[in-house]
Amino acid sequence: MFAKINSSYLYGISGVGVEVECDVSSYGLPSFSIVGLGDNAIKESKDRVKSALKNLDYNYFNHPITINLAPADMKKEGSHFDLPIAISILKAQGVIERNTDDFLILGELSLDGTLRSVTGVLSMVEYAAINNINKIILPKGNVEEAALIPEVEVYGFSSLLEVISFLRGDEIFSPYIRDYESRAEQSVLYEADFKDVRGQFQARRAAEISASGMHNFIMIGSPGSGKTMIARRMPSILPPMTLQESLESTKIHSVAGLIKDSGSLIKKRPFISPHHTSSNIAIIGGGSKASPGNVSLASGGILFLDEMLEFSRSVLEVLRQPMEDRYVTIARAGRTVTYPAKFMLIGAMNPCPCGYLGDSRKQCTCTQNMIERYRAKLSGPMLDRIDLISKVEAVEYKDLMDIKEGESSDIIRERVIKAHEIQNMRFKDENILFNSEMNESMVRKYCILEDDALKTMETAMNKYNISARSYSKILKTSRTIADMAESDKIKKIHILEALSMKLPDNQL
């Protein structure tokens, strides 16, 4: 007998359709083979399916059973094929008779038939919705995540036995009902607010420019000057995520196995702060499951490299490609997957190895040689990809309490949203959203300088030997500064401010 079940697998963060086909012959020696799965996955899945079915007294393994996961030419990963494989065997044997064409089935089995939650559910359920497969069967732990897609009916189960009773009609189960109303009302609350940052006008200004044009931004200052404090507050001044951004971010986290059972939509812009000992794979993605790395988890939000120069040189180098392309491609065992990597890079670093170069509180103890070697780690190509550099000078401790609270994140965010709207209008016919994303021809088209602004720029070019890449970074930043002032043309003051945040004498 032959049977077929709809399932899905992940290609990057996209769900792709898979038909689990089962053929059980009446004649022949006992065998159980699966084609179309990755090598390691096959063995494990076989053991689980066999044991789970035998434990329910469905022992058909004295017949030849062949499972094909079509299309078979793509090797698939994932323990979530256990349940559709088991169901296909039961269908082929006539235990389940109903038509299952309108169901998508996913789930990992334990040996005793209990269902275990799986990763990447949102992407796979989205595939189902797009392809008019409108009922989903999956483990209970995944129902909330699946129900983020409103077009489908989601049925959550805790065991294979329950799924069988449901499909045989022995027992009635109702689809999961999501409480959309109350969830929609939940607004995003950020724990940390810019009002806590006292003084620091220059760094606060740089932070606002950075958020307004989604520019990469580095802070340089001695320990305790407030760099980490400012970075942690960056998500709170960015606009709320659009539904599309939220869904994409949730898919990435789901594929990485980081969505908890509550499965709610990610609405807060990610703030990912890897430790400086992190490996290339942790940062970029990869490993045995080709999982998304920090650059993808940070997509839609911020990748914060605290103590940036403590990261290995190779990590700083592998970051360059996703910073440029806004996605990352991971190759593994003949398979390549692509994940989004639309993050804003924020870095914090000390000005020298001891940390106190230029500090009024403490003397720097580093030699010139030490300082040069330290700075060399931030290679030219990396620096070229940074739009804004701000010095952060420590506010004297005794002064901190006397300075009044800073502007709150709510107020700054309103202005940032306005600047974003101007950019979204400008780029409505281009494939980008923000000034920082402009390519060379867009820079020429949209960065129109007033005459004296142009002269200032030319003088600076000659005087500071600015690279072509830095030149266009400066123009993009000045475009953002002009947008913040609601100025159509870029004026001299805009260029001067952009230059002050990029020039070599301000760099380190």
Site stretch for ligand ADP (CB under 6 A), options 58-66, 227-235, 244-252, 268-276: 227-235
CA 389 to chain centre: 24
For helices 409-426 and 201-213, the axis angle rounded to 10 degrees is 40
Q: Which of residues 338-357 bind ligand ADP (CB under 6 A)?
A: 348
388: phi then psi, degrees, rounded to nearest 5: -130, 135
**Contact region for ligand ADP (CB under 6 A) — 64-72, 220-228, 414-422, 429-437?**
220-228
Binding status of residue 228 toward Mg ion by CB under 5 A: yes
Interaction mask 339-368, Zn ion, x per CB under 5 A: -------------x-x--x------x-x--
Sole window of 26-34, 137-145, 200-208, 225-233 interacting with Mg ion (rule: CB under 5 A): 225-233
Per DSSP, the three-state class of 4 is: strand
Identity of the residue, 260 or 361, whose beta carbon is nearer to Zn ion in the bound complex = 361
Least distance CB 411 / ligand ADP (angstroms):
17
Give the residue with the Cβ less far from Mg ion, 228 or 321.
Answer: 228
Quick one: which H or E segment has residue 345?
strand 344-349
239-278 positions binding ligand ADP, by CB under 6 A: none
**Number of residues counted as binding Zn ion (CB under 5 A):** 5
Using the minimum distance from each CB to Zn ion, give the nearer residue, 161 or 366. 366
- 165 vs 228, beta carbon nearer Mg ion: 228
Spacing of C-alpha 481 from chain mean position: 27
Distances (CA, A) of 117 to 16, 20, 141, 160, 262: 19, 19, 5, 13, 12
**Which listed range, 9-17, 185-193, 207-215, 225-233, lies at the site for ligand ADP (CB under 6 A)?**
225-233
C-alpha–C-alpha distance, residues 29 and 451, integer Å: 86
Indicate which of ligand ADP, Zn ion, Mg ion, none lies near residue 472 (CB less than 5 to 8 Å, by partner kind): none
Q: Give 229 or 364: the residue with its C-beta nearer to Zn ion.
A: 364
Kindly state whether residue 116 participates in binding ligand ADP, applying the rule CB under 6 A. Answer: no
Does 197 help bind ligand ADP (rule: CB under 6 A)? Answer: yes
Part in contact with ligand ADP (CB under 6 A); list of ranges 219-227, 233-241, 438-446, 496-504? 219-227
CB of 206 to ligand ADP, least distance (A): 14
Q: Which is nearer to Mg ion, 252 or 349 (by Cβ)?
A: 349
Q: Which of 203, 231, 206 is nearest to 308 (CA)?
A: 231
CA 216 – CA 346 distance, rounded (Å): 6
Q: 118 or 354, CB closer to Zn ion?
A: 354
Q: Per residue, what are the HEC states of 86-115?
A: HHHHHHHCCCCCCCCCCEEECCEECCCCEE
The minimum distance between CB 203 and Mg ion, in angstroms, equals: 13
273 touching Mg ion, by CB under 5 A:
no
- Least Å from the CB of residue 429 to Mg ion: 42
Closest CA to 419 of 189, 238, 192, 244: 238
Please give the C-alpha separations between residue 139 and each of 132, 134, 177, 262, 308, in angstroms, as whole numbers: 21, 17, 15, 13, 41
| Residue 274 binds: one of Zn ion, Mg ion, ligand ADP, none (C-beta under 5 to 8 A by kind) | none
Shortest Å, Cβ 352 to Zn ion: 3
In the complex, least distance from residue 198 CB atom to ligand ADP, rounded to whole angstroms: 4
Nearer to Zn ion (CB atom), residue 316 or residue 366 = 366
Position among 38, 64, 223, 239 found at the interface with ligand ADP (CB under 6 A)? 223
Nearest to 449 by CA among 399, 505, 487, 411: 487
Which residue has its beta carbon closest to ligand ADP? 226
Cβ contacts of 308 within 8 Å, gap of 6 or more: 218, 276, 316, 347, 348, 349, 378
- Least distance between ligand ADP and beta carbon 413 (Å): 19
Of these, 76, 140, 227, 473, which contacts ligand ADP (CB under 6 A)?
A: 227
- Indicate left, alpha or beta for 501 from its phi (over 0: left) and psi (-120 to 50: alpha): alpha
Q: Using the rule CB under 6 A, which residue among 74, 395, 448, 493 binds ligand ADP?
A: 395
Q: Does 225 bind ligand ADP (CB under 6 A)?
A: yes
For CA atoms 202, 204, 205, 206, give the dihedral sign.
positive
CA distance 92 to 472: 63
First vs last Cα of the chain: how many Å apart?
73
Tell me the C-alpha distance between 86 and 78, whole Å: 15
CB 363 within 8 A of CB 356: yes
* Binding residue (CB under 6 A) for ligand ADP from 72, 74, 95, 229: 229
How far is the C-alpha of 229 from the C-alpha of 191, rounded, in Å?
12
Q: 11 has which bridge partners?
A: 14
Non-local CB neighbours of 71 within 8 Å, separated by 6+ positions = 18, 36
| CB-nearer residue toward ligand ADP: 27 or 201 | 201
Where does this chain bind Mg ion (CB under 5 A)?
228
Where does this chain bind Zn ion (CB under 5 A)?
352, 354, 357, 364, 366
Where does this chain bind ligand ADP (CB under 6 A)?
196-200, 221, 223-229, 348, 395, 400
